[in-house]
Amino acid sequence: MTDSGIIVKALSGFYYVKTDNEIITCKARGKFRKKEFSPLVGDKVNISVLEENEGVIDEITPRLNCLVRPPVANIDRLFIIVSTTSPKPSPFVIDKMTVTAHFNNIEPIIVINKSDLSSPDEIFDTYKKCGYKVFCVSAKENYGIEQIFPLIEGKLSVFCGNSGVGKSSILNAVDSRFNIETGEISEKLGRGKHTTRHIELYSSHGGLIADTPGFSSLDMERISVIKKEELQYCFPEFERYLGKCKFTSCSHTKEKGCEILLAVENGEIPLSRIESYKKLYEESSKYKDWQL
């Protein structure tokens, strides 16, 4: 018998495929076992059901998109989860994620958690100014969570962010049936302890949400590199100024007559955003075209 479904979990060589009726534990056919093209959580697949609840993945439906980190396919929305404190937010890490989302045609959404511990205002203002959807929540106090319900419906969403920001805690607050394991923050290091170890899609509010392992700084370096000329299009707040700089080939990093740098001076573009842009521009400049 054949069937179709979506991969909701990948663990130790098994793929858990959710069909209309049940979850089938599948192996992948040999052609998919190569590293270059293996099935991902979020993949829509056709399967052969061999025995009760067991099967094989025969075919992967062409992907809308997929990220390297976190490795998920067919993403509609990337919820970038930050905490007001413990761990401390890093604008550069957030901006690397927004850029990655824009580059892959995914809508980034900023969720500021732990609003009960410290004020979310500064991060809120920064990203609101750039045109993002930004929400302040507290998973602990079950505050503000309902704001994200309408964004989940009918979509595949991914929760990403540093370890300990509260991705799993927010999911538990979204749906009390989940009971996902959460971890303490290391007091010494002020960081999470990498509690979530695998990616899993959960169904709630008419959509699917992926909980993912928090990334470490090493992971961030490996996130897709984008050509330096294309970076400017991954900052939505730059858009209204593009094409207006004095030099047509303006890199918006140091040129005289740059409208974007002027907008930063005038307080129209947040300082932290241009700093992230310049840092990413410099990183991209190190790569030759053939490496991208």
Q: Is there binding between residue 214 and ligand GTP (CB under 6 A)?
A: yes
Instruction: Give yes or no for residue 83 binding Mg ion (CB under 5 A).
Output: no
Distance between CA atoms of 137 and 144, rounded to whole angstroms? 5
CB of 123 to ligand GTP, least distance (A): 14
**Minimum CB separation from ligand GTP for residue 83, in Å?**
7
| 3 burial level (CB within 10 Å; 0-12, 13-18, 19+) | middle
The residues facing 134 across adjacent strands are 110
With binding defined as CB under 6 A, does residue 79 bind ligand GTP?
no
- Rounded alpha-carbon distances, angstroms, from residue 52 to 14, 22, 23, 25, 39: 15, 10, 10, 9, 22
Using the minimum distance from each CB to ligand GTP, give the nearer residue, 104 or 168.
168
Identify the residue among 182, 204, 253, 272 touching ligand GTP (CB under 6 A).
182
Residue nearest to ligand GTP (CB): 214
- Contact positions toward Zn ion, by CB under 5 A? 245, 250, 252, 258, 260
163 binds ligand GTP (CB under 6 A): yes
Q: Does 165 bind ligand GTP (CB under 6 A)?
A: yes
When asked if residue 113 is in the footprint of ligand GTP (CB under 6 A), the reply is yes
- Rank residues 5 and 161 by Cβ distance to ligand GTP and give the closer one: 161
**55 interacts with, out of ligand GTP, Zn ion, Mg ion, none, CB within 5 to 8 A per kind:** none
Tokens standing for residue 237: 């707040």
Shortest CB 62 distance to ligand GTP, Å: 30
Q: Does 168 bind ligand GTP (CB under 6 A)?
A: yes
Query: Hunting for tokens 């599948």 — which residue is that?
Result: 26
- For ligand GTP, which is the closer residue by CB, 105 or 216? 216
185 near ligand GTP, rule: CB under 6 A = yes
What minimum distance in Å lies between the beta carbon of 183 and ligand GTP? 4
Note the residues at the interface with Mg ion (CB under 5 A). Answer: 167-168, 195-196
Note the residues at the interface with ligand GTP (CB under 6 A). Answer: 113-114, 116-117, 138-140, 163-169, 182-185, 192, 194-196, 213-214
